[in-house]
Amino acid sequence: MSEITKALLRAFASLLHPRMLLLMLWPVVIALLLWLGLAFAFWSQAAAWMQLEFDQSAAIGWAITVWPLTMIATHLAWILLALLFLPLVLITAVLIIGVFAMPMMVGLVAERAYPKLELRQGGSFAGGLWNSVAALAWLAALILLSLPLWFFPPLWPVLPILLFGYLNQRVFRYDALAEHATAWEMETIFRRHRRELFLLGVVLALLGLIPVLGFFAPVYGGLAFIHYCLARLVQLRDEPVAIQQAVL
């Protein structure tokens, strides 16, 4: 069984703990209320601005002549805003969990599943906050760089999943290890297992597409990354010193 599969199964077991019930709700509720308030205040202005930008763009003008965009051209701005609403709620929930909820989740998981794992405090709250800000900035940059690809319908289902996969792993991996790993251990795990970390993020992004259940995906994702990263940390510390130094 792969470490990713183990992490997903262990995360599901941890999700059933009574203390996780509140965590499954409040980050998503806060994110939902925040974006509902912004939508109520600025929806019409945002739609009008987007429609103006579409009308002035030659690339978009060409794109909406291609089926099926011709069917929705007159309402494209409103449709795009509606499609952006759920991703924005989930992104905000991921950031809230990464900054505020992960320490409690890590403590609970470590106490039950990794009680002998020594705390070495390689990260901090400020580091976690900066990591989340950097993750959001990189996500925005990747979205801007990938904008030309969004005009090709076959890529529509793929791009959001890849982008959410990146965000998941970038936010959760740091917070999963901040209390237990040294800075060297964190960097080593990130470098050694970058592909699996990204794959785990993509799997969780796919789970986030499931209606209703997707709202609880951020907490489940945090737990999955905690289990995966702490298990990798245990493996790293079990290695002989010579092997650890060889990766420097």
Does position 240 have pLDDT exceeding 60, yes or no? yes
- Tokens 């909406």 correspond to what residue? 64
d(CA 28, CA 199) in angstroms, rounded, equals 24
Tell how far CA 201 is from the center of its chain. Answer: 7
Q: Distance between the two ends of the chain, CA-based, in angstroms?
A: 28
Does position 101 have pLDDT exceeding 60, yes or no? yes
d(CA 196, CA 48) in angstroms, rounded, equals 42
**Where exactly are the structural domains of the chain?**
3-17+87-246
Higher pLDDT: 237 or 42? It is: 237
pLDDT for 61 equals: 54
Helices (H), the chain: 3-15, 18-23, 26-56, 58-63, 69-72, 76-96, 102-113, 125-145, 158-177, 183-192, 194-207, 217-238, 241-246
Q: Which of 175, 177, 195, 193 is nearest to 185 (CA)?
A: 177
pLDDT for 89 equals: 80
Does position 176 have pLDDT exceeding 90, yes or no? yes
- Do residues 80 and 150 make contact, with C-beta atoms less than 8 angstroms apart? no
User: Average pLDDT in the 138-154 region?
Assistant: 80
Q: What is the pLDDT of residues 122-143, one digit of tens each?
A: 988 888 889 888 988 898 888 8
d(CA 139, CA 163) in angstroms, rounded, equals 7
pTM: 0.78
- Do residues 233 and 180 make contact, with C-beta atoms less than 8 angstroms apart? yes
Q: How confident is the model at residue 232 (pLDDT cuts 50, 70, 90)?
A: very high
- Do residues 21 and 52 make contact, with C-beta atoms less than 8 angstroms apart? no
- Do residues 9 and 113 make contact, with C-beta atoms less than 8 angstroms apart? no
The segment with the largest mean pLDDT, out of 20-24, 211-215, 220-224, 244-248, is 220-224
**What's the mean pLDDT when you consider all of the chain?**
81
pLDDT for 100 equals: 82
Does position 203 have pLDDT exceeding 60, yes or no? yes
pLDDT for 71 equals: 45
